Amino acid sequence: MSRVIQLPETLDENTFEELISDLESAREGERLLFDARHVKWVSPYGLIGLLAAGQVSSDRTGLAPAIEVPDSSEVRSYLDRMDFWQNASAIYDLGARSTRPHGRSDALLEITPIRSHQDVHHVVERVRDQAALILENRLHYPKPAVIQFSVMLSEVCQNILEHSEAVGWVCAQTYYWKRRLGRDVLVLAVMDVGLGFQGSLGAEHARRYGDRWSAATALEAAFLNGESRFRDPGRGQGLEAIRKQVTKWNGEVRIRSGDAMIARVPDWDDLSPLRADLPYFPGAQVLIVLPARAEEPVAT
């Protein structure tokens, strides 16, 4: 038995729920076809979201899903440049489609799997010089921001290894947000489909919360209070530190896990800071948006 999942025209953080809504009913032995023919625009979050959705489909049905290639030549070119097909080959049934890596693109970071601490180190080293150019020249951040961004990137990738017990992916792109901000932004997306925050923190913290323990309370514990699955002093401060740093840059960070999402919402967005009514999806999905600094008014 097979079923078609029609993808939205725009694949990003705002349509992720639409992308995964049909996966809740996926059953063993059911072959899913992700129809991407009408996709017209994809963000870094949408790219790895499609990988994550494909992995969940495979886990639930026991069959590799298929995918229809977008009709848009621009979208196809973007998927090629971001090494989507190379990474998708481990998840989707791509038939005879070429999965050779495209080589370096204009992105800060093409889709990169995170399987080990060495992968995290490689990612940070790889983007260091280009991140410096982007943060200083395009976003107009001060020089110390380069180090702070590297720490943030390392922390959010390490979170996959320490809390998910599953392979994850990271991707980053800089582009101009004409409608929303009228400024350049750096968009960083990191995802896995592992334990999630509720599962990861449960052994250490669920009893204390009792009946209130949920994906939402687990996200609050980690994101706002720095709680960790580990008892070691000083552990668990990474996400809290990321939230504080993103706040200084007037950026946005949202973390989705299970059926909940928590966010640091800047003044340029109207996102709800906490939701607990989402379709269940395993693991954790992180989005960080860093906008260019607004130009200071010229004194007269």
Whether the pLDDT of residue 157 is over 70: the answer is yes
HSE toward the beta carbon, residue 164, CA cutoff 13 A: 25
Q: What was the pLDDT predicted at 297?
A: 42
What is the full DSSP assignment across 157-205? HHHHHHHT-S-EEEEEEEEEETTTTSEEEEEEEEEE-SSHHHHHHHHHH
The model's pTM is 0.91
pLDDT digits (tens, 9 = 90+) for 185-225: 999 999 999 988 888 887 777 778 788 889 999 999 888 87
Token pair 């992968």 is found at: 119
Helices 196-209/215-223 angle, 10° precision: 90
Contact 154, 124 (CB under 8 A): yes
Amino acid at 156: V
Q: What was the pLDDT predicted at 232?
A: 47
Name the β-bridge partners of 183. 177
Q: What was the pLDDT predicted at 212?
A: 84
Q: What was the pLDDT predicted at 238?
A: 79
Q: What was the pLDDT predicted at 188?
A: 97
pLDDT digits (tens, 9 = 90+) for 266-300: 999 999 999 998 999 999 999 999 999 976 543 44
Q: Phi and psi dihedrals of 264, rounded to 5?
A: -95, 115
Terminal CA-CA length for the chain? 71
> In the chain, what's the furthest Cα-to-Cα distance?
71
Q: Phi and psi dihedrals of 225, rounded to 5?
A: -110, -5
Domains along the chain?
Answer: 1-104 (3.30.750), 106-300 (3.30.565.10)
Q: What was the pLDDT predicted at 105?
A: 65
